[in-house]
Chains A and B, each alone.
Chain A
Amino acid sequence: MANTYELISGVTVGVGGAANIDFTSIGSTYTDLILKVSGRTANAAYNDTIKLTFNGSSTSAQIKRLYGNGASAASDADGSGAASINFYSTTGGTATTSTFGNAEFYIPNYAGSNQKSISGDLVTENNATSATAALGAGLWANTAAITQITLTPNSGLTFVQYSTAYLYGVKNA
Chain B
Amino acid sequence: MPNPTRIEINCETGVESIIELTDAEVAEMKYAAQLAAEKKSEEDAAAAALEEQKLAVLAKLGLSVDEAAALLA
Contact = CB atoms under 8 A, between A and B. Distances in A.
B7 A11 contact: yes
B8 A22 contact: yes
A24 B21 CA distance: 17
A85 to B, nearest CB: 15
B35 to A, nearest CB: 7
Contacts of B33: 155-157
B6 A19 contact: yes
Contacts of B10: 9, 24-25
Contacts of B13: 25
A25 B12 CA distance: 6
A19 B21 contact: yes
A144 interface: no
Contacts of A21: 6-7, 9
20 contacts: A11-B7, A11-B9, A11-B16, A13-B7, A14-B18, A16-B4, A18-B18, A20-B7, A21-B6, A22-B6, A22-B9, A24-B11, A25-B12, A45-B40, A156-B32, A156-B33, A156-B34, A156-B36, A157-B29, A157-B33
Interface of A: 8-11, 13-14, 16-27, 43, 45, 49, 152, 154-158, 167
Closest 6 pairs between A and B when the two form their complex, measured CB to CB: A156-B33, A156-B32, A25-B12, A22-B8, A20-B6, A19-B6
